[in-house]
């Protein structure tokens, strides 16, 4: 062993000969290697490129390169009328179009100081929560695939298909709805919609447990996520994190509760945070658990919406929609709790035009992804895949 002490910096290669360690090589240079992950890589969930500097299997730095899907949404907005922006917002986070429309419609309604019919509010929350479940199903399913579990993905997409069917029935489109308009809705929901949604809720409730057992009862899944990519609460806030990411770090913060909008104050639901019994607070597993728990909370909200919704008698979903949308001069920053976090809209109106002077979408994925550099430092390459999956990015919203 004495020989080992004389070794200077760098790695050594040793062998054992008759109980003695013999140094074969010393001062081995460990060379940094650049590994480009993406933009065409299945685990980056779209066209994200990560430039990784690696030392062996260990990542010393991972720099995200964005913009492959950039179409300058904000410039498009400056060239069209307020109602024509709604279809663009669908294409931000295309897995939860209803939620994005909802957030945008609320922002403009604040500028207009509009009163919204109660039934419209209930339908909006109903479809937004349905969409939240569909979005979390994709997040959970693809996360399983990232970590080598194929079955949960099929289960998730089977159930998501029912939600997409329901939303298609209401709006006419599967993913890009253009359903929630400024001041109202495109149409009322179909006559038997409530009945079918209730059937779905009853069908889906046991499935959440099944899905949960399928992943968190899986030893490999736990080993790949437990204690990986830990983000302390304070750093998460400093990074501007929101949504399931922030709650995964143990901060009980949900805009539906803490900055309530629409009819959420009337509804009873819990803000899901990990309890730290099965996971380390702030790790990948915590973030996964938050999404799983949130689906059950969304089911609760949907049931309450169905119970409390005013009847469709004499209801016109377009009654509050202004003929001409021209807000008075001013600015608004309005936000909503989307499946991926806080989606904020900053809109500036000059009071004369029917087009916004400036319309900015504050994207939750963009902000959540910005912590990648700190999250990935010192992790192994396979863990990097687990971390990206747990952030649950949608590149349509990151690149805008």
Partner 1 sequence: MEEGKAVSQSVQESAAAYRVIQEQFGAAVSAFDANETMPFFEVVATGRWVEIALFMRDHAKLKFNSMACLTGADYPAENKVGIICNFESLALLGHKVAVKLKCDRTGGSLPSLSCLWHTANWHEREVFDLFGITFTGHPDLRRILCPDDWEGHPLLKDYKVQQSYHGIKVPY
Q: Which residues, numbered 227-266, are part of the site for partner 1 (CB under 8 A)?
A: 234-235, 237-240, 251-253, 258
| CB contact at 8 A, 52 and 32 | no
Q: Does 366 bind partner 1 (CB under 8 A)?
A: yes
Output 237 or 306, the one with its CB closest to partner 1.
Answer: 237
Distance CA 337, CA 364 (A): 10
Residue 192 tokens, joined: 């038997």
| CB contact at 8 A, 314 and 71 | no
Task: Find where tokens 């803490």 sit.
Answer: 258
Output 111 or 185, the one with its CB closest to partner 1.
Answer: 111
Pairing type for strands 341-349 and 330-338 reads antiparallel
Residue selected from 93, 129, 342, 392 as contacting partner 1 according to rule CB under 8 A: 342
Output 186 or 235, the one with its CB closest to partner 1.
Answer: 235
Nearest distance from C-beta of residue 107 to partner 1, angstroms: 9
Q: Which residues, numbered 154-213, are part of the site for partner 1 (CB under 8 A)?
A: none
Q: Does 70 bind partner 1 (CB under 8 A)?
A: yes
Nearest distance from C-beta of residue 5 to partner 1, angstroms: 40
Beta strands in the chain (DSSP E): 11-17, 20-28, 32-37, 49-55, 58-65, 180-181, 184-185, 330-338, 341-349, 358-362
Output 52 or 126, the one with its CB closest to partner 1.
Answer: 52
DSSP code, position 170:
H
Nearest distance from C-beta of residue 384 to partner 1, angstroms: 19
| CB contact at 8 A, 334 and 137 | no
Residue selected from 36, 333, 351, 377 as contacting partner 1 according to rule CB under 8 A: 333
Residue selected from 47, 48, 62, 66 as contacting partner 1 according to rule CB under 8 A: 66
List of residues 6+ apart from 79 with CB closer than 8 A: 355
Among 189, 131, 140, 167, which Cα is nearest to 339's?
Answer: 131
Residue selected from 91, 335, 340, 355 as contacting partner 1 according to rule CB under 8 A: 335
Nearest distance from C-beta of residue 253 to partner 1, angstroms: 5
Q: Which residues, numbered 292-311, are part of the site for partner 1 (CB under 8 A)?
A: none
Using alpha carbons, list the distances in angstroms from residue 54 to 21, 34, 36, 131, 153.
29, 6, 10, 39, 30
Nearest distance from C-beta of residue 172 to partner 1, angstroms: 29
Name the residues that contact partner 1, by CB under 8 A. Answer: 66-67, 70, 72, 74-75, 110-111, 234-235, 237-240, 251-253, 258, 330-335, 342, 344, 346, 348, 357-358, 360, 362, 366-367, 370-371, 374, 399-400
């Amino acid at each position: 062993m004495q020989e080992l002490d004389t070794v200077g910096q760098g790695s050594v290669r040793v062998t054992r000969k008759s109980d003695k360690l013999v140094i074969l090589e010393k001062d081995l240079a460990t060379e940094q290697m650049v590994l480009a992950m993406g933009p065409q890589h299945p685990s980056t969930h779209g066209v994200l490129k990560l430039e990784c500097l690696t030392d062996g299997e260990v990542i010393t730095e991972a720099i995200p390169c964005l913009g492959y899907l950039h179409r300058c949404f904000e410039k498009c907005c400056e060239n069209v009328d307020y109602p024509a922006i709604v279809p663009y917002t669908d294409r931000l986070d295309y897995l939860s179009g209803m939620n994005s429309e909802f957030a945008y419609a609320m922002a403009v309604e604040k500028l207009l100081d509009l009163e919204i019919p109660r039934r419209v509010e209930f339908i909006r929350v109903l479809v937004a929560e349905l969409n939240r479940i569909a979005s979390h199903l994709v997040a959970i399913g693809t996360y399983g695939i990232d970590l080598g579990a194929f079955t949960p993905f099929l289960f998730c997409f089977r159930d998501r298909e029912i939600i997409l069917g329901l939303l298609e029935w209401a709006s006419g489109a599967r993913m890009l709805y253009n359903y929630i308009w400024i001041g109202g809705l495109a149409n009322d929901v179909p006559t038997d919609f409530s009945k079918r949604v209730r059937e779905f809720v009853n069908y889906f409730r046991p499935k959440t447990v099944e899905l949960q057992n399928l992943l968190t009862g899986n030893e490999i899944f736990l080993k790949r996520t437990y204690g990986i990519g830990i983000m302390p609460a304070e750093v998460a806030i400093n990074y501007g994190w929101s949504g399931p990411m922030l709650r995964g770090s143990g901060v009980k913060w949900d805009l539906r509760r803490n900055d309530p909008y629409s009819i959420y104050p009337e509804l009873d639901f819990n803000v899901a945070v990990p309890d730290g019994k099965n996971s380390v607070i702030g790790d990948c597993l915590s973030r996964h658990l938050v999404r799983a728990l949130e689906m059950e909370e969304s089911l609760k909200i949907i049931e309450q919406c169905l119970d409390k919704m005013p009847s469709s008698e004499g209801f016109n979903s377009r009654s509050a929609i202004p003929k001409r949308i021209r807000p008075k001069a001013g600015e608004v920053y309005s936000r909503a709790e989307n499946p991926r976090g806080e989606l904020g809209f900053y809109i500036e109106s000059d009071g004369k035009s029917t087009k916004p002077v400036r319309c900015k979408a504050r994207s939750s994925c963009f902000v959540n992804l910005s912590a990648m550099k700190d999250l990935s430092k010192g992790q192994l390459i396979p863990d990097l895949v687990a971390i990206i999956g747990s952030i649950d990015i949608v590149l349509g919203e990151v690149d805008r």
